[in-house]
Amino acid sequence: MPLSSGAPLHVGAVGAAAAVTLAPSFSPLYQQIKTLILRSLQGGEWRPGEAIPSEIDLAARFKVSQGTVRKAVDELAAENLLVRRQGKGTFVATHAEEQVQYRFLRLAPDVPDNTPGAARREFLDCRRLVAPPDVAASLQLPIGEQVVEVRRVLHFSGHPVVLDDIWLPAHLFKGLTAERLSEYRGPMYGLFETEFGVRMIRAEEQLRAVSAQPSVAHLLQVEPGAPLLSVERLAFTYGDQPVELRRGLYRTDRHYYRNELS
């Protein structure tokens, strides 16, 4: 049966008098289709980099118009979950895509030709440990759960610019080692989705100004007490499940932090 444009709230044992006060909850039809497509993405029906069925096929599958499917797909493409390729179809976005892989890295060079794509990664540590209480709380893990802790430095044009401390739920990243991180040629999020099936689809960040502690100053090659930008990022996969906590310290003497507001 075709999807309806809205469904009345199921009131169960609620009495008729009380039910009168409950307003039905409506969702536009294209939003319902978007939700169904998201469920297929979350369930792994279409993997990162794979083509999804055509709009005509999806319209037949969901028994709706092609225009309704197109609107749902347009929103998913705008959210970088799908990628349209002219003449080829629509594909599940992957962090290996050039236009996607650095969308969480908001650092831009003062000199335009020095692009983020020129980054060199130096992994300092990768180990398993019991999640510190604040990390467990951010990742919504039970107390005592293990995480993988990764520390790395990003170099741009030969200069260390970003020091990242990263925590990942250990049960989702079994077998992750510093060697695997170092050997992988693509972006780290690309490794996560291709080898561990974990795709980062959105993130929340908190920024503040801090001064470089001596150990950090040594790694970033700045003077102790030099100003740095602290960026704490919590990344989520499908279903708003937090799967990465990242605390980065950024040099901004050659770069600036950019953002777009709408």
Q: What is the pLDDT of residues 147-206, one digit of tens each?
A: 999 999 999 888 999 999 999 999 999 999 989 998 888 788 888 988 898 988 889 999
Encode pLDDT of 49-102 as tens digits. 889 999 999 999 999 999 999 999 999 888 878 889 888 899 888 766 444 445
Q: Please indicate, yes or no, whether residues 119 and 207 belong to a single structural domain of this protein.
A: yes
Pair 175, 114 in one domain: yes
Instruction: Please classify residue 193 by burial: count the beta carbons closer than 10 Å to its beta carbon, then call 0-12 exposed, 13-18 middle and 19+ buried.
Output: buried
> Mind listing the pLDDT tens digit for each residue in 16-57?
333 333 334 578 898 999 989 988 887 778 888 889 999 999
Decide if 97 is inside a domain.
Answer: no
Contacts of 77 (CB under 8 A, 6+ apart): 83, 84, 90
Under a CB-based contact definition with an 8 Å cutoff, are residues 82 and 73 in contact? yes
Q: Are 193 and 199 in contact (CB under 8 A)?
A: yes
Residue type, 54: S
Q: 3-state class of 52 per DSSP?
A: coil
**Same structural domain, 155 and 227:** yes
Structural domain includes residue 1: no
Total count of domains within the chain: 2
- In a shared domain, residues 123 and 247: yes
Task: Say if 119 falls within a structural domain.
Answer: yes
Considering the domain architecture, whether residues 55 and 161 belong to the same structural domain is answered as: no
Identify whether 100 is part of a domain. Answer: no
Residue with token string 């908190």: 206
What pLDDT score does 29 carry? 92
Print the domain residue range for 59: 6-92
Residue 63 has a pLDDT of 93
Check whether residue 176 and residue 242 sit in a common domain.
Answer: yes
Report residue 207 as tokens.
């920024």
pLDDT tens, position by position, 241-259:
999 999 999 999 988 888 7
* 118 domain residue, yes or no: yes
Which of left, alpha, beta for 119 (phi over 0: left; psi -120 to 50: alpha)? beta
Q: How confident is the model at residue 137 (pLDDT cuts 50, 70, 90)?
A: very high
Question: What is the CATH classification number for the domain harbouring 44?
Answer: 1.10.10.10
Mean pLDDT to the nearest integer, 118-131: 91
Q: Could you tell me if residue 99 is inside a domain?
A: no
Give mean pLDDT, residues 99-119: 61
pLDDT band at 134 (very low <50, low <70, confident <90, very high): very high
pLDDT tens for 188-201 read 888 898 889 898 88
Q: Are residues 47 and 12 in the same domain?
A: yes
Mark whether 155 and 216 lie in a shared domain.
yes
Pure H helices in the chain: 16-19, 29-42, 55-62, 66-78, 133-138, 178-183, 188-195, 214-220
State whether 17 and 68 are in the same domain.
yes
Residue 253 lies in a domain: yes
